[in-house]
Structure 1
Amino acid sequence: MTKKRNLDQEKVLSTATEIVRNEGIKALTLSRLASELDIRTQSLYNYIANLDELIALVGARLVNKLRQKNN
């Protein structure tokens, strides 16, 4: 019996954001993110196009959080 995963783009982005916050942008790789999520690296492509898109999405998320903090 296979276990059902509760994975979506939000979970992928949240985990990626935490890696960046804790260790910096250079620590964010697809293999590292996949390891944190306990999935295969190829499975990430169901949620993101590539590392560049992931970095852009994480950056936008962090900028939005900063804007909310300052308002």
Structure 2
Amino acid sequence: MSVCQRCQQDFTCAVADKTNQPCWCMVLPAIDAPTLPKADIDPNATCLCPHCLPLWKSEVIAAKSKL
């Protein structure tokens, strides 16, 4: 099991947990990391949970559109 770096809930990250299955996050559109604003998430985090990753991505996009 993995732990979400944002909400601290346990979840399965197929990549980090080495399940040999495609991970749910692979179907989400990628974000170009160098264009992201500073975030309060550990850059060494393996992943965010299925609830937090889409939420975080929408927050990042919204913040970037305000610039």
TM exceeding 0.5:
no
The structure showing larger relative contact order (alpha-carbon pairs under 8 Å, at least 6 residues apart) is 2
Greater helix proportion: 1
Structure (1 or 2) with the greater strand fraction: 2
State the TM bucket, normalised to the shorter chain: 0.3 to 0.5
What TM-score do the two structures reach when normalised by structure 2?
0.33
